[in-house]
A and B are shown apart, each in its own frame.
Chain A
Amino acid sequence: MMADEAGRAGHGSGSRTGAVSLEFRGVTKRYGHSAQARGAVNDLSLEVPAGAICVLVGPSGCGKTTSLKMVNRLIEPTAGQILLDGVNVLTEDVTELRRRIGYVIQHVGLFPHLTVGRNVAVVPALVGWSKERQLARADELLSLVGLDPAGYRSRYPFQLSGGERQRVGVARALAADPPLMLMDEPFAAVDPIVRERLQDEFLRLQRDLAKTILFVTHDIDEAIKMGDLIAVMEEGGRLAQFGPPDEILAHPASDFVARFVGADRGLKRLSLVTIADLELAPIAASAPPGLPTFSPSTKLRDALSVLLAADSRGGVALDEEGQPCGFVTVDAIASALAEDRQPAATRSGGVTRQGATGVGAAAGDDS
């Protein structure tokens, strides 16, 4: 339901401000004298091109939230620069800066004393939009995140479920059409089923909005799913690796990254690829009936799981019309892992990998 609404409202709102590029340049945050303190950040440099989702992922205390909060200056860096379209955030008025940046947090932080509609319109109200424009914008955004404005705008936050609260939180962050969104574990407080739905809907939204997004999570699976680029951080606030998800999974730059992404990183890579990406073998005339079938959007990881469960060496790929168009084998799926692919391109159209600099280049430890 959110998809069509996103399509409708997205064009009206998403193109207004566009996105900005985001760059961390030698950013360090120290707490006290210890460089190892929880939440410290050590010489972080990375570039996120406009319109890309960059996920900061790492164990707790690795400085990922600190890094995010330095962008809207809830935390001031000890050293270094953070640039939005080349402009150092430290040179800007802090209040103005924050009103131009969307902010979504794990506990949502909706204002309990304001209705859903007024919560969404908080930043428009702060920057002095007219009442009518605020209300219209709130309704537009509630539709965008899949909440019927007539049913929701007058409710109070205590009358919402956890998933609804998160949606309102996202709507509120989008209200003034910010070119950059900071999202700190935005889906961590809801149950796995709701989380997955919110993730899917957000990715669909992002296809239209094309915001630049800095996204923090401790969950590598979420990072792989949401990120065009992933920055893996380790204790001490160091950047362990920066690159597209497939590169991180295929070529972890260190033992730490390999351990962090998990022993099943091969399987995780398969979840980045769908049947449609696979080169299919022709269907043999001798193929027995009753083989598993796969739609083009089936992830290779799921296809493999189905084949293994069915104890079958192969299955039939269907085209968009549901007609058989090729043969999928376990071997073909396995060989997909041998390729180096660029999955970012398959997810958010406008994103190039030019901004993906960093230690990702030091890959090679694939053993």
Chain B
Amino acid sequence: MSGEPLIRWDWLFAHLGPIAERVGQHLYLAAIAVSVGFAISFALAALSIRRRKLYPFVTVLATAAYTIPSFAMFAALVAITGLSVFTAEIPLVLYTIVLFVPNIVAGFDSVPWDVLDAADGMGYTPGQRWWRVELPLAVPLVVAGLRLASVSTIGLVTVSAILGDSFGGLGYYILDGYKRHFTTEILVGGLLSIGLAVIADLGFVLLQRLLTPWAARRTVGG
């Protein structure tokens, strides 16, 4: 094995098609987890904001879920949901909640009270105040949550490879390379997974710039 090059380019070029498919699967698994996780978290955050007493319970439960090792959770779920997409998605979704909820709650908490006072005083209805003032002003921290959750989820998708060949996205190559002592596969799986996480993160940074031209930045213009 010492004679093997770090990357066998011939293998790489011969597998471009399957690699692209794995990238697609990786993104698909991550996107579902982040979307569903976001929807559930938004509801939990809204509940926590309205009933502050619930917030600690939500946080404790979300954190408890996060402490379960992903490896163990995937394995345990097989007994319940079999080898379905749920087995992969349930842990991924659960892990996003602890990242989303505090950011969403903090986002709405960050709306200055004087802005809310002014909005009420000028005659916004509660619905108008929420859509036109609170939600837009919560965007920076909500997007911060999206960045965290997407980066974390893209990494975790690889672990679902233990469920079998039809899961794992790029994690398939990491696992397969490990079994076969084939470094090229491990590197391709690992590096592409990192690349996806970086691209997703930069994408959300860009999204935030577009959504919040009003936020004070280090380079203040005008």
* Interfacial residues, chain A to chain B (CB-CB below 8 A): 69, 72, 74, 95-99, 101, 103, 105-115, 122-123, 126, 155-159, 172, 182
Q: Which residue of A lies closest to B222 (CB)?
A: A159
Q: Which residue of A lies closest to B216 (CB)?
A: A158
Q: Tell me, in angstroms, the Cα distance from A108 to B118 when the chains sit together.
A: 8
Given contacts A109-B115, A155-B222, A159-B222, contact A98 B128 (CB under 8 A): no
Neighbouring B residues of A101 by C-beta, 8 Å:
121
B120 within 8 A of A: yes
A72 to chain B, nearest CB (A): 6
Decide if B220 touches A95 in the complex (CB within 8 Å). Answer: no
Given contacts A113-B136, A159-B222, contact A99 B114 (CB under 8 A): no
Neighbouring B residues of A105 by C-beta, 8 Å:
114, 117-118, 121
- 5 CB-based A-B contacts, threshold 8 Å: A69-B121, A99-B122, A105-B114, A105-B118, A156-B214
Given contacts A158-B220, A159-B220, A159-B222, contact A74 B121 (CB under 8 A): yes
Given contacts A158-B214, A159-B220, A159-B222, contact A109 B117 (CB under 8 A): yes
Most buried by A among B117, B133, B136, B212: B117
Given contacts A113-B212, A114-B214, contact A95 B118 (CB under 8 A): no
Given contacts A113-B212, A156-B213, A158-B220, contact A95 B123 (CB under 8 A): yes
B2 within 8 A of A: no
Q: Which of A72, A95, A107, A126 is the one whose CB lies under 8 Å from B114? A: A107
Neighbouring A residues of B212 by C-beta, 8 Å:
113
B125 within 8 A of A: yes
Q: Tell me, in angstroms, the Cα distance from A107 to B119 when the chains sit together.
A: 13
B124 to chain A, nearest CB (A): 7
A5 to chain B, nearest CB (A): 22
Most buried by A among B115, B122, B124, B137: B122
Decide if B118 touches A98 in the complex (CB within 8 Å). Answer: no
B147 to chain A, nearest CB (A): 20
Q: Which of A98, A110, A157 is the one whose CB lies under 8 Å from B120? A: A98
Most buried by B among A112, A113, A155, A172: A113
B112 within 8 A of A: yes
Decide if B114 touches A109 in the complex (CB within 8 Å). Answer: yes
B12 to chain A, nearest CB (A): 47
Of all A-B residue pairs in the complex, the 6 with the closest CB atoms, nearest first, are A109-B118, A98-B123, A99-B123, A107-B114, A103-B121, A109-B114
Q: Which residue of A lies closest to B137 (CB)?
A: A113
Bin chain B's interface residue count.
20 to 34
Decide if B120 touches A74 in the complex (CB within 8 Å). Answer: yes
Q: Tell me, in angstroms, the Cα distance from A50 to B121 when the chains sit together.
A: 21
Decide if B123 touches A111 in the complex (CB within 8 Å). Answer: no
Neighbouring B residues of A111 by C-beta, 8 Å:
115, 118-119, 133, 137
Q: Which residue of A lies closest to B111 (CB)?
A: A112
Neighbouring A residues of B123 by C-beta, 8 Å:
95-99, 123, 126
Neighbouring A residues of B125 by C-beta, 8 Å:
95
A184 to chain B, nearest CB (A): 9
Neighbouring B residues of A112 by C-beta, 8 Å:
112, 115, 137, 214-215
Q: Tell me, in angstroms, the Cα distance from A158 to B215 when the chains sit together.
A: 8
Q: Which residues of chain B from 132 to 160 have a CB within 8 Å of any chain A CB? A: 133, 136-137
Q: Which residues of chain B from 1 to 55 have a CB within 8 Å of any chain A CB? A: none
Q: Which of A98, A106, A107, A156 is the one whose CB lies under 8 Å from B121? A: A98
Neighbouring A residues of B220 by C-beta, 8 Å:
158-159
B178 to chain A, nearest CB (A): 49
A167 to chain B, nearest CB (A): 15
B111 to chain A, nearest CB (A): 9
Given contacts A113-B136, A113-B212, A156-B213, contact A182 B121 (CB under 8 A): yes
Question: A113-B136, A155-B222 given. 15 additional CB < 8 A pairs?
Answer: A74-B117, A74-B120, A96-B123, A98-B120, A109-B117, A111-B118, A112-B215, A113-B137, A115-B214, A126-B124, A157-B214, A158-B214, A158-B216, A158-B220, A159-B220
Given contacts A111-B115, A158-B216, contact A123 B136 (CB under 8 A): no
Neighbouring A residues of B117 by C-beta, 8 Å:
74, 105, 109
Q: Tell me, in angstroms, the Cα distance from A114 to B215 when the chains sit together.
A: 10
Q: Tell me, in angstroms, the Cα distance from A113 to B107 when the chains sit together.
A: 14
Q: Which residue of A lies closest to B116 (CB)?
A: A109
Neighbouring B residues of A95 by C-beta, 8 Å:
123-125
Question: What 0/1 pattern do residues 190 to 222 of B give for CB contact below 8 A with A?
Answer: 000000000000000000000011111000111
Q: Tell me, in angstroms, the Cα distance from A159 to B213 when the chains sit together.
A: 12
Q: Tell me, in angstroms, the Cα distance from A156 to B112 when the chains sit together.
A: 16
Q: Tell me, in angstroms, the Cα distance from A101 to B118 when the chains sit together.
A: 12
Q: Tell me, in angstroms, the Cα distance from A113 to B212 when the chains sit together.
A: 7
Q: Which residue of A lies closest to B217 (CB)?
A: A158
Q: Tell me, in angstroms, the Cα distance from A111 to B213 when the chains sit together.
A: 13
Most buried by A among B118, B213, B222: B118
Neighbouring B residues of A106 by C-beta, 8 Å:
114
Q: Which residue of B lies closest to A96 (CB)?
A: B123
A135 to chain B, nearest CB (A): 18
Q: Tell me, in angstroms, the Cα distance from A9 to B21 when the chains sit together.
A: 66
Neighbouring B residues of A123 by C-beta, 8 Å:
122-123
A122 to chain B, nearest CB (A): 6
Neighbouring B residues of A110 by C-beta, 8 Å:
115, 118
